[in-house]
Amino acid sequence: MNSGVKTITIGMLGCGVVGSQVARLLQDDEQELSERSGALLKLSKVGVRTAGARDGVDSSLITTDLQSIVSDPSINIIIEVMGGIEPAKSLILEAIKNGKSVITANKALLATHGHELFNAADAAKVDLYYEAAVAGAIPIIRSMRESLAGDQITRVMGIVNGTTNYILTKMHEEGRAFDDVLKEAQTLGYAEADPSADIEGHDAAAKAALLASLAFHSTVVIDEVYCEGITHISSEDVLAAKSMNSVIKLLAIAELTVKDEISVRVHPVILPLAHPLASVRNAFNAVYVESEAAGQLMFYGRGAGGAPTASAILGDLVAVARHAAYSTVGYGESDYADLDIAPIGAVKSQFFVRLHVADKSGVLASIAQTFASENVSIQTVRQSGLGADAELIVVTHAASEDALDACVEKLKAMDIVSKVESVIRVEGAPA
C-alpha cells in the first residue's frame, strides 16, 4: 500500500464475544483489510463498561470512557457491539453528530429507534451499516439494500433465530420434548440462561421489523410485529406435521397483502418438506425472498456466534472505510413509502387444528358445520384413535385469523370436543 493512502481510524464500543472477535481480526488482518478498503485501517480505541483485560485485545486500546471514543476527532468510524438501547443509542447519535460513520449489530436498537438513527445519519451524510444485525454472516441486508434495489420484493420469510431452529430440529428428528431440547441448547451455548427472547419470538421479531422496513421502504418497529413463540409446540404437533411430510419452523414473515399494506409477523409454521426453508437444520439461519423480477432467492448460513457476526461487521467495515477514503457515502435507508401494517386478524393463512373429540356418529359432520359457520373451508381431515382418545387433525384452506379464532371458540364450547390441542399456521399445504 503506497504512502499516499488515507488512514481510517476505528473506535469500538463493546468487547464481548463479538467485539473481541472483531478486535482480534482487525489487528491480525489489518494489512489485508486495508488493501481491500483502499485505506490504512487502524483500531484506535475499544470502549468497555468495566475495566480489565480482554482476550486478544491490546490493553493499551481499552478504555471505560465511552464518550471519549465518539467525541474523538481522530476517529472516523465507530463499531457498536454493546447491545441494548442505552447507552448505545445516545453514543451512536453523538458519533453521527460528530461526523462519524457507524457500524452496528444492534437489532433491538434499530428495530425500536432505527428511523431516528437513519435520519440522523442521512442528515450528517455518514454511513450507518448493520449487516450483522440480521442473520449473522448471511449477506441479506446488503443483498436487499443494494442488489435488489431495482426490484419489487413481495415477500420475505426467514428462519432468523438459531436457538428455536435447533430446538425444533431436534424435536423433529429425534422425537424429543421441548423442555429436554431446550436444556441441551443451554448446555451447548445455543440458548441463554433466560431463553425467553428466543423461544417467545422477540429476537426474531426485531429482525422481522428490519427486514420489512428494508423490503418495503417503510418504517416498521418491533411493536408493530405480531409475535408468537414456540413454547406451545408439542411432540404431538411435531409428529402430526411429520405425518403430513412437513416440518414445523419458527418464521419471520414480511409480505405485501394488498396495495399499500403489509403484514409483518413471527410465528410457527408447518412447512412441506419440499420448501427450501424446511431443510434448514439446527442453529443455521436462512432467508427466502420473493420478488417480481428476480423470483425466488434463498440465503443460507450461520446466523449467530462471534465469528459469523464478526465477519458481517468486517464486511461492513471494508465498505464504509472505502467510502470514507474517497469522501463519499453508501446506500442510505429509503423509507419513502408509508405502508399500513395489516392487523393479524385480517391476515389469511391455512391452519392446522388438532383437537380431541368424542368418537361417535355425526362428530365429523358437526365439526365441519362449525367451520362452515365462519366461512372456513376444510381442505383435509384425519382421525386417529378410538373412544375418548379420538383425535382429529383438520387442515383448512386459506382463512382469516379472525374467522379461524371464531371457529376455535365455537369448537371449545361443543360437548363433543374435549380439547382443542393446538392451532398452527400452514404454508403451502398440498391440495
Per-residue DSSP letters for 317-331? HHHHHHHHHTT----
User: Do 127 and 102 contact (CB within 8 A), yes or no?
Assistant: yes
Interatomic CA distance for residues 143 and 137, integer angstroms: 12
Interatomic CA distance for residues 357 and 352, integer angstroms: 16
Quote the radius of gyration of the chain (alpha carbons, Å).
24
Sign of CA dihedral 197, 201, 203, 205: negative
Interatomic CA distance for residues 374 and 63, integer angstroms: 63
Q: H-helix or E-strand containing 408? A: helix 401-412
Report the DSSP pairing between strands 391-396 and 378-384.
antiparallel
Tell me phi and psi for residue 46, to 5 degrees: -125, 115
- What residues act catalytically? 207
Residue type present at position 112: T
Which CA distances in Å does 322 have to 23, 101, 187, 302? 19, 12, 41, 26
Q: Which three cell numbers stand for residue 328?
A: 463519499
Cα-based torsion angle of the residue sequence 85, 87, 88, 93 in order, rounded to the nearest 10 degrees: 110
Q: Which three cell numbers stand for residue 50?
A: 468495566
Residue with cell 436462512: 286
Per-residue DSSP letters for 27-83? HHTHHHHHHHHTSEEEEEEEE-SS-S--TTS-GGGEES-HHHHHH-TT--EEEE---
